[in-house]
Structure 1
């Protein structure tokens, strides 16, 4: 543990920010009129014992932890950086377990972001019947473009991917790379869980097709959620490249041992 004053103050500040965010989001949650819809396949998945993955956009994370299903242990994959520390401090307060990590940043060679450990932890959580939520375009985008990591993990574990969309009518969009949706109290919102998407195989073409299917389903679900609350849809990023930035490393030799 780093005991230098600057490091300790930074850690305290992030915990304090997480606590303040928890209080504010709880207020917004309790004063918002929610419409919640789950596809029949989601109800079946929740009734079973198998774990599954949940795909959500990075900019709709504010209420995601509050939507964790009762009776199932839930996990959230959160990047291992300082911004992720604040989200982690918030998420813990909602009773959601954490998986920390993302792939290495190409601009910062030699910095370990615990990508392999995060993948291994996700595999274990799913195989133990857990529900693991992943911000599929985070932590640096491209915005509203699903990276291959969730599809690779789905193929590795044979777990289904449930697309999950949240929208609120009056939420404010931040000036961040993802246009993070900041909730406001006394609003109207929707939470939609779409039909689970099964993996199509473990080969590169099958994983690519699975990624595309998840992206199409999550995009359509988000458009519907925005339409239901009367919110203008937001454009996705044009750049589909740099899939390795911020997501799991999907090279075959970097995948965790499935055994």
Structure 2
């Protein structure tokens, strides 16, 4: 799949992660290196079809950036297909640092914090990322679940930054599912991966409390998007 690459990048990089590479033992550093190469080798075999992305690719530098919402368990196929300079909210724990280093190889950069730790600082930094010209990706059911729940953080961020919310979902026809809370999906070699970017939704509510009250609505939007991408995948398979 050929994809146009976004040229919009932040004017300055977000704050550097707190954990240096030296803080990891050699086994962890080796695991990160090997894991990254394995992901690239595996991803190169996937047959990816993307729907609804062109409007984002056609934006001018002056156009509004967006807040992308994706389920935690679908991060791998989505990050592989997206691969544009995009901020990703990542936990401040050591495991989050490992994730930050891996996603960095795909062109993403971490905004460190979560709803349970460093949330206020991360929210302010994410607002600045959007205003400087990069999109933000949020997993509303992360970092601990419950799976496919929708925490208000993504909506609060979009409201404060004046940015639209865009759902981003995937369907994988052949995959491994981990026995984790998020049923993390790893597409098998040569799997068909179907991605759908939803229509942008602006949050014009008067205050943040009204925005936070819309989580059920946006959870349903994500469920509807999953149903659509499953139909798109089935249609492509039958052609």
Q: TM-score, normalised by structure 2?
A: 0.80
Separation in 1, partners of 2:193, 2:221: 20
Contact 1:25–1:183 (CA<8 Å) still a contact in 2?
no
Contact 2:159–2:208 (CA<8 Å) still a contact in 1?
no
RMSD over equivalenced CA pairs, Å:
2.6
Separation in 2, partners of 1:15, 1:57: 27
Separation in 2, partners of 1:90, 1:103: 22
Q: Secondary structure at the match of 2:229?
A: helix
Separation in 1, partners of 2:53, 2:214: 19
Q: 1:202 to 1:140 in 2, by over 3 A?
A: farther
The alpha carbon displacement at 1:25 in A equals 2.1
2:100 equivalent in structure 1? 88
The structure 1 residue matched to 2:43, chosen from 29, 33, 44, is 29
Q: Secondary structure at the match of 2:42?
A: helix
**Is residue 52 from structure 1 mapped to residue 66 from structure 2 by the alignment?**
yes
Separation in 2, partners of 1:40, 1:47: 15
**Is residue 212 from structure 1 mapped to residue 226 from structure 2 by the alignment?**
no
More displaced 10-residue stretch of structure 1: 136-145 or 194-203: 194-203
Separation in 2, partners of 1:17, 1:202: 47
Q: Secondary structure at the match of 2:147?
A: coil
Separation in 2, partners of 1:66, 1:39: 14
Q: Number of residues paired by the alignment? A: 216
Q: Secondary structure at the match of 1:167?
A: strand
Listed as ranges, the gaps of 5+ residues in structure 1 are 105-112, 231-259
Q: 1:102 to 1:28 in 2, by over 3 A?
A: same
1:149 equivalent in structure 2? 153
CA shift digits 1:200-230 (9 cap, x unpaired): 3242552135433322221111223234446
Separation in 1, partners of 2:110, 2:104: 7
The alpha carbon displacement at 1:46 in A equals 6.6
Q: TM-score, normalised by structure 1?
A: 0.74
1:198 equivalent in structure 2? 202
More displaced 10-residue stretch of structure 1: 75-84 or 209-218: 209-218
1:166 equivalent in structure 2? 170
**Is residue 120 from structure 1 mapped to residue 124 from structure 2 by the alignment?**
yes
The alpha carbon displacement at 1:197 in A equals 1.2
Separation in 1, partners of 2:28, 2:166: 30
Contact 1:190–1:228 (CA<8 Å) still a contact in 2?
yes
Q: 1:180 to 1:116 in 2, by over 3 A?
A: same
Q: 1:67 to 1:179 in 2, by over 3 A?
A: same
More displaced 10-residue stretch of structure 1: 48-57 or 140-149: 48-57
**Is residue 224 from structure 1 mapped to residue 228 from structure 2 by the alignment?**
yes
Listed as ranges, the gaps of 5+ residues in structure 2 are 1-17, 235-239
CA shift digits 1:161-214 (9 cap, x unpaired): 110011211111110001111121111110110101111324255213543332
Separation in 2, partners of 1:181, 1:92: 20
